[in-house]
């Protein structure tokens, strides 16, 4: 069967052979519009008005005529319809589609775009794997290019851990070993100050350890060997630190139990301390603050520069009483200029075996006169046979107002025994934090008919009152 016979079988043409001329003379082509999408090899097409419809198509002209189609057709496409024979339309077949080529071209263009994008992605993620004495490397550049430039994103793996880097600067480190962890860098260097966060078995640290949160499990035994008590607890600590070239100040907030907790210990403690760089010996900063809380006994302990303040609740007869005690403490209303409590009365601010308070003598006070409730008392004792005597004690009061209004100026102290046989005086320069003597404090002589011996008395104490 040749092509003509095949077409005749397909389209109902009979009684014609390959030499017939009638086929060419009775083949016509029309232009139509698809009124549906093609499906199962057929489509509905609306033809022009001058086409004579056969009886079997009567009534379908306005809706389109169903006919077989060779190309794929979409509704609205302009199509070519081939008709065989003369007269009324017979055996119509859609043989061409003007819109199909555009769609095919668009699909081809889209396929090219997708292929190009895929190629670009493939090239962008192209990686090179190689190793040297440092470990296994993953780089965008070849080993030769990397060793020349050491730039670009890369990773380094070895038995110690993994480094994700920009060039040779660490960005992220995964460290193995006995204390595995993660370190995040700022991308500017690999020193400790370039670490912005750490996560490991010791806790969480930020900005190179300037802030650190730690937690640990501790098991301790209390009591004696005949009656031991084992306690396991989780202790947590928050540490903050600020530092420069000369000193570092740290603050710790710790929660957990401490030794002796069976009898009532602290559950939290706040500590502040300062380290001085030995290269800066003139730096006098030496802050020290410690606060402890004990919920079992309802007590609070505050420590500043080794001085302690205790606030403790005492339940007595069903009522709560508070005890506040310390060697020295101060609660001050700075707004109103009122000192509610200060250096405890009776606190010895300075003591010695006995000083004449000559010009080269300076008594440095443990606490300022301004911190005392009312002022200070100077304690003098007789001095004979090169010995400080334990009789005829004299106490001389100096109000704290003196250092507020006349700080560092001289004060005259008159001294004498009961029968006026040993008269003397002292001239002292009293400042807020120290007392300095005068050359006349060891003088002897007679004046206005009175004999005096200033060296016969020495100062032995300065007491807060």
- Residue range 168-204, pLDDT digits in tens: 999 999 998 888 999 999 888 888 878 888 888 777 8
Q: Chain-wide mean pLDDT for the chain? A: 77
Residues 244, 261: Cα–Cα separation, whole Å: 38
Question: Does position 439 have pLDDT exceeding 90, yes or no?
Answer: yes
Nearest to 32 by CA among 95, 100, 103: 95
Q: Which of 116-120, 214-218, 258-262, 451-455 comes out lowest in average pLDDT?
A: 258-262
**More confident: 298 or 427:** 427
Question: Does position 242 have pLDDT exceeding 50, yes or no?
Answer: yes
Q: Which of 57-66, 73-82, 422-431 comes out lowest in average pLDDT?
A: 57-66
| Residue located via tokens 């008919």 | 449
Question: Does position 79 have pLDDT exceeding 50, yes or no?
Answer: yes
> 109-144, pLDDT tens digit by residue?
777 777 777 666 656 567 899 999 999 999 988 899
**Confidence grade of residue 65 (pLDDT, cut at 50, 70, 90):** confident
Question: What per-residue confidence (pLDDT) applies to 340?
Answer: 54
The mean per-residue pLDDT over the stretch 359-373 comes to: 91
Bridge partner list, 324:
311
Question: What per-residue confidence (pLDDT) applies to 15?
Answer: 40
Question: Does position 261 have pLDDT exceeding 60, yes or no?
Answer: no
Nearest to 16 by CA among 69, 85, 78: 85
Nearest to 75 by CA among 45, 47, 35, 43: 35
Tell how far CA 465 is from the center of its chain: 49
Question: What per-residue confidence (pLDDT) applies to 230?
Answer: 76
Question: What per-residue confidence (pLDDT) applies to 202?
Answer: 74
Question: Does position 428 have pLDDT exceeding 60, yes or no?
Answer: yes
Contact at 8 Å (CB) between 73 and 38?
yes
Pairing outcome for strands 375-384 and 42-47: unpaired
The mean per-residue pLDDT over the stretch 347-356 comes to: 94
**More confident: 346 or 436:** 436
Of 10-24, 97-111, 253-267, highest mean pLDDT: 97-111
Write phi, then psi, for 398 (nearest 5 degrees).
Answer: -125, 115
Compute, in degrees rounded to 10, the torsion defined by CA atoms 21, 26, 32, 34: -80
Residue 375: partners with Cβ closer than 8 Å, 6 or more residues away? 369, 397, 398, 399, 400, 401, 402, 465
**Confidence grade of residue 329 (pLDDT, cut at 50, 70, 90):** low
Question: What per-residue confidence (pLDDT) applies to 14?
Answer: 42
Percentage of the chain modeled with pLDDT above 70:
66
Output the six-digit token pair for 24: 């060419």
Write phi, then psi, for 217 (nearest 5 degrees).
Answer: -100, 125
Question: What per-residue confidence (pLDDT) applies to 102?
Answer: 67
Q: Which of 75-79, 182-186, 239-243, 387-391 comes out lowest in average pLDDT?
A: 239-243
Question: What per-residue confidence (pLDDT) applies to 315?
Answer: 62
**More confident: 456 or 343:** 456
Question: What per-residue confidence (pLDDT) applies to 4?
Answer: 42
**More confident: 245 or 10:** 245
Give CA separation, 249 vs 103, 132, 193, 257, 283, in Å.
74, 44, 17, 25, 13
Residue 224: partners with Cβ closer than 8 Å, 6 or more residues away? none
Buried (b) or exposed (e) across 63-77, using 16+ Cβ within 10 A? ebbebbbebbbeeeb
Nearest to 441 by CA among 357, 379, 352, 381: 357
Whether the full predicted model's pTM is greater than 0.75, yes or no, is no
Contact at 8 Å (CB) between 262 and 234?
no
Question: What per-residue confidence (pLDDT) applies to 114?
Answer: 74
Question: What per-residue confidence (pLDDT) applies to 318?
Answer: 61
Percentage of the chain modeled with pLDDT above 90:
30
């Amino acid at each position: 069967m040749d092509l003509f016979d095949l077409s005749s079988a397909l389209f109902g043409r009979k009684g014609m052979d390959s030499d017939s001329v009638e086929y060419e003379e009775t083949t016509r082509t029309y232009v139509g519009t698809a009124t549906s999408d093609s499906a199962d090899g057929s489509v509905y097409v609306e033809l022009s008005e001058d086409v004579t419809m056969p009886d079997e198509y009567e009534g379908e002209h306005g809706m389109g005529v169903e006919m077989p189609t060779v190309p794929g057709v979409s509704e609205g496409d302009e199509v070519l319809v081939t008709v065989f024979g003369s007269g009324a339309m017979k055996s119509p077949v859609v043989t061409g589609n003007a819109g199909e080529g555009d769609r095919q071209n668009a699909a081809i263009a889209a396929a090219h775009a997708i292929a190009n994008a895929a190629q670009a992605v493939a090239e962008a993620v192209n990686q090179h794997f190689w190793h040297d004495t440092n470990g296994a490397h993953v780089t965008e550049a070849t080993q030769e290019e990397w060793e020349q430039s050491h730039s670009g994103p890369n990773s380094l793996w070895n038995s110690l851990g993994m480094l994700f880097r920009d060039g040779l600067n660490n960005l992220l480190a995964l460290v193995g070993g006995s204390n595995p962890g993660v370190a995040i860098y700022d991308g500017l260097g690999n020193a400790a100050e370039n670490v912005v966060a750490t996560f490991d078995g010791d806790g969480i640290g930020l900005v190179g350890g300037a802030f650190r949160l730690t937690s640990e499990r501790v098991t301790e035994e209390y009591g004696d060997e005949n009656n031991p008590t084992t306690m396991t607890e989780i202790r947590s600590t928050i540490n903050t630190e600020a530092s420069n070239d000369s000193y570092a100040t740290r603050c710790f907030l710790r929660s957990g139990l401490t030794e002796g907790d069976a009898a009532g210990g602290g559950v939290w403690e706040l500590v502040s301390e300062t380290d001085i760089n030995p290269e800066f010996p003139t730096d006098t900063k030496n802050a020290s603050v410690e606060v402890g809380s004990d919920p079992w006994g309802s007590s609070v302990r505050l420590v500043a520069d080794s001085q302690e303040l205790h606030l403790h609740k005492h339940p007595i007869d069903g009522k709560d009483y508070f005890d506040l005690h310390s060697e020295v403490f101060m609660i001050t209303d700075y707004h109103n200029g009122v000192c509610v409590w200060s250096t405890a009365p009776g606190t010895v601010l300075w003591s010695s075996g006995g000083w004449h308070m000559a010009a080269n003598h300076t008594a440095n006070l443990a606490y300022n006169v301004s911190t005392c409730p009312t002022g200070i008392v100077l304690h003098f004792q007789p001095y004979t046979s090169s010995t400080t005597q334990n009789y005829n004690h004299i106490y001389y009061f100096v109000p704290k107002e003196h250092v507020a209004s006349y700080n560092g100026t001289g004060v005259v102290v008159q001294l004498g025994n009961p029968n006026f046989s040993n008269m003397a005086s002292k001239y002292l320069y009293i400042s807020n934090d120290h007392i300095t003597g005068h050359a006349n404090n060891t003088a002897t002589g007679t004046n206005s008919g009175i004999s005096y011996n200033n060296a016969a008395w020495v100062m032995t104490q300065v007491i807060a009152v």
